Amino acid sequence: MPVVRTTLVACAFLLAVPAAAADDDRPFWHPDAGTPAERFELAKRTEPELVAFLRRFPKGADLHNHAGGAIYSDYVIDAARVNGLRYDPVARRFTAGEEAHTVSLDELEADAAMLKAFFETVSMRGWYPNTDDGHYHFFQTFSYLGSAQRTETQRLTEIVRRNRYQNVNYLELMALPTPTEALSRFYRVSWTLDLDDLAASLAPFEPLIDDPVVHASITAWLDERAAEISTELGLSPPLGEPGSDIALGYIGSLLRTGTMERFFVGAVYTFTAMRADDRVVGLNIVAPEDHPASRRQFDDQMRVLDFLWERFDRPAITLHAGELTLRYAPVASMWDRIRRSIDEGHARRIGHGISVAWERDVVGLLEQMARDGVLVEINITSNESILGVRDDRHPFEMYRRAGVPVCLTTDDEGVSRSNLTMEYVKAVMRYDLGYDDIKTISRDCLEYSFLPGGVKGERMAMLETAFTDFEASLVSGYREHQ
Ligand SMILES: [Zn+2]
């Protein structure tokens, strides 16, 4: 069968993967190192080479980034100094008080042990696997981060600056506009929650939903942040204008561990903010999913979301769902958590989805997610440190084999001492992704973002241009302007 043999040889030649030869000593930026895909295979030999490649690789979006957990504690110290605060080494917080046991910022920075204790308490620097529980350590950090009196603009600027450095096209941050004028109107409403009559519960808020004063104050808050961040970073065009080299969207987060009253008001306010300004693109629910209150209130929270989603004309929702393992939750919390978050909570995207394998009719669920385009926001670093899930215990490859779209995301990059580049580095090293794989993931992040259609089209075109520029830079020496 000579014809068949010829064909097979030809196919083998055409399909040959240009893997880096073991004796190839060229760096990936060498003039003769081949196509971008061939250079990527060279970069995969070591983590530093992969960092150098992936830091500038265009990333469509980070779709799962809590602004509260994205800040680095290093800058918290700077803010405390600027704000004239002292440090309380017992409470491990900054304070305006002058108590005898507090120290100045100079004293804090001069005391290596005290400085180490601070950093270890407020970030995952203090997590020592096998001696400290990552889950506990992670969630306690948040109670320490707010004491330095940083402004919202300072926090957002830090996050935008870092992501711009990593060629991230769009940031969909979990942060919510909080203009006093709008919020105070919601808090002044006299009402009671009746879970059996949600329309009656909502009635006292109805006048606020389309109130022009509420809408105007939300828009003014967003305009102000955009202007301040743009000035701080010298963005031209400024944030929010066509062609700005990074875009920013806001997602309101509701606490799943608080009271149902707080959850309801928070949801009504967030949906109102989405109606007021299309820079508020979605809603999420946050806090440990394994907390007893999260488990007990899940039914009620899905009921509230189902009702309000219809009332507000079906806006975009993404939900943390299945950030669970048997170590932290009974199996009954895992057999329908993701499915119900999609079917009842109307999640267009799922955050984490770690417990998917425990879902009833997992095949049907994965088929549904692939068919309906329910993307999973994958948080490799976070899952490893909080849940102890990594490598082949993570469902990343299961989702991809089932055709479910995925996006690599950071979750809490500051607390985790990570960033989006490192999420790509870890995914590539652990799951042997090729250049086409990471381009698909990067594009899907933007495609499944909650950006309004016109803006999304514009950002998608910018991402393709960024790929072209990046690939051209690879073959022309990979030098970068200082
Ligand atoms: Zn999260």
Q: Domain boundaries in the chain?
A: 75-148, 152-468
CA of 256 to the centre of ligand 1 (A): 12
CA of 379 to the centre of ligand 1 (A): 8
CA of 68 to the centre of ligand 1 (A): 10
300 Cβ neighbours under 8 A, 6+ residues apart: 195, 260
CA of 340 to the centre of ligand 1 (A): 18
Provide the pLDDT for residue 20: 53
CA of 66 to the centre of ligand 1 (A): 6
* Residue with more model confidence, 127 or 434: 434
Provide the pLDDT for residue 16: 42
CA of 464 to the centre of ligand 1 (A): 28
**pLDDT tens, residue by residue, 374-383:** 999 999 999 9
Tell me: pLDDT of 147 over 90: no
Q: Are 380 and 394 in contact (CB under 8 A)?
A: yes
Helix pair angle (73-82, 112-122), 10° resolution: 120
Task: Reduce the secondary structure of 260-320 to three states and give it as a string.
Answer: HHHHHHHHHHHHHHHHHCCCEEEEEEECCCCCHHHHHHHHHHHHHHHHHHHHCCCCCEEEE
CA of 455 to the centre of ligand 1 (A): 25
| Structure confidence at residue 127 as a pLDDT band (50, 70, 90) | confident
CA of 64 to the centre of ligand 1 (A): 6
What number is the average pLDDT over the span 440-455?
97
pTM value is: 0.93
> What is the fold, at CATH topology level, of the domain defined by 152-468?
TIM Barrel (3.20.20)
Provide the pLDDT for residue 5: 41
Q: In the structure encoding, which two tokens stand for residue 436, read together?
A: 């086409």
What number is the average pLDDT over the span 162-180?
97
pLDDT-above-70 percentage for the chain: 95
| Structure confidence at residue 123 as a pLDDT band (50, 70, 90) | confident
**pLDDT tens, residue by residue, 307-351:** 999 999 999 999 999 999 999 999 999 999 999 999 999 999 999
Provide the pLDDT for residue 207: 97
CA of 456 to the centre of ligand 1 (A): 23
269 Cβ neighbours under 8 A, 6+ residues apart: 182, 183, 186, 252
**pLDDT tens, residue by residue, 375-412:** 999 999 999 999 999 999 999 999 999 999 999 999 99
Q: Are 336 and 360 in contact (CB under 8 A)?
A: yes
**pLDDT tens, residue by residue, 212-234:** 999 999 999 999 999 999 999 99
